Amino acid sequence: MDVTLDVSGHLTALQVMRDAPVIPVIVLTDVRQAVLLARALVAGGIRMLEVTLRTPQALACIEAIAREVPEAVAGAGTVRSAADAQACAMAGARFAVSPGYTHAVGQACRDAGLPLLPGVATGSEIMMAQEDGLSALKFFPALQAGGPAMLKAWSGPFGDVRFCPTGGVTMANAAEFLALSNVVCVGGSWLTPAEALARGDWAQVTALAQQACQLIRSNA
Ligand code: 3PG
């Protein structure tokens, strides 16, 4: 994590992306587990946490992390509607990540004061996000939608855009993405394996976070 960054105030999407080489994509069903997991990730050097709105407990988990783990920054993932944006902001989320982009989601995040990393997979989607002033974007699903070659192709026409590729990124291929000039960080679920969560193996989560923090970035 970038120790010079004060995370107590408002953050920009670019600051969220720059803090560590990986933003963990997290699926949680248990509030107690949420707190322990957040502490384990912070202990490994990762504090920008994307808790996906994919379970009925997700908002309560965001709320618990925001309340009990102040050294973490709880964000919400899978934000697909204005209502999602409002709900996660109410729960204490400090940033939002979406799998795609609509102007309505962009507007709702602006209204709620939430920095947004919107998902894009085409040039038109990048242009739509840029029309609304967004230039720190998630490339999703990164591997399936063209991988590093797609990002290289975009670096010409969209040279002012910075990406967080997510989807199919692992410890094995993260370095290839992070070497690109338009990539600031990657996102992925590999830091929080379901089996480790089920076992309460927080040491494994911390070790995976530490390993992820060793990844070299050419453009942070
Ligand atoms: C997701 O939305 O699930 C993320 O893109 C994570 O994808 P991954 O499991 O391939 O890392």
Which three-class secondary structure state does DSSP give residue 170?
Answer: coil
Tell me which residue has its CA closest to atom 9 in ligand 1. 189
d(CA 128, CA 19) in angstroms, rounded, equals: 26
pLDDT-wise least confident of 7-11, 42-46, 103-107, 140-144: 7-11
Q: How many angstroms separate the Cα of 161 from the Cα of each of 75, 131, 142, 175, 184? A: 21, 12, 15, 19, 10
Tell me the CB-side half-sphere exposure of residue 57, using CA atoms within 13 A: 13
Which three-class secondary structure state does DSSP give residue 66?
Answer: helix
pLDDT-wise least confident of 5-9, 91-95, 108-112: 5-9
Taking the CA of residue 170 as reference, the ligand 1 atom at the shortest distance is: 11
Average pLDDT, the chain: 97
Token pair for 186: 């990657």
Residue 68: pLDDT band by 50, 70, 90 thresholds? very high
Rounded to the nearest angstrom, the distance between the alpha carbon of 75 and the centre of ligand 1 is 15
Rounded to the nearest angstrom, the distance between the alpha carbon of 44 and the centre of ligand 1 is 20
Q: What is the DSSP letter of 110?
A: H
Tell me which residue has its CA closest to atom 11 in ligand 1. 188
Per-residue confidence (pLDDT) for residue 25, from 0 to 100: 98
Which three-class secondary structure state does DSSP give residue 8?
Answer: coil
Q: What is the pLDDT of residues 94-127, one digit of tens each?
A: 999 999 999 999 999 999 999 999 999 999 999 9
Residue 92: pLDDT band by 50, 70, 90 thresholds? very high
Which three-class secondary structure state does DSSP give residue 200?
Answer: coil
Tokens 């974007």 belong to which residue? 137
Domains of the chain: 13-213 (3.20.20.70)
Residue 26: pLDDT band by 50, 70, 90 thresholds? very high
Taking the CA of residue 168 as reference, the ligand 1 atom at the shortest distance is: 10
Specify the pairing of strand 96-98 against strand 116-120. Answer: parallel
Q: Answer whether 48's CB lies under 8 Å from 16's CB.
A: yes
User: Phi first, then psi: what are they for 149, rounded to 5°?
Assistant: -65, -40
Rounded to the nearest angstrom, the distance between the alpha carbon of 91 and the centre of ligand 1 is 23
- Between the two ends of the chain, the Cα-to-Cα distance in Å is 11
d(CA 220, CA 218) in angstroms, rounded, equals: 6
Q: What is the pLDDT of residues 141-185, one digit of tens each?
A: 999 999 999 999 999 999 999 999 999 999 999 999 999 999 999
220 has a pLDDT exceeding 90: no
pLDDT-wise least confident of 13-17, 107-111, 188-192, 216-220: 216-220
Q: Answer whether 21's CB lies under 8 Å from 210's CB.
A: no
2 has a pLDDT exceeding 90: no
Whole-prediction pTM value?
Answer: 0.97
218 has a pLDDT exceeding 90: no
* Residues noted as catalytic: 50, 138
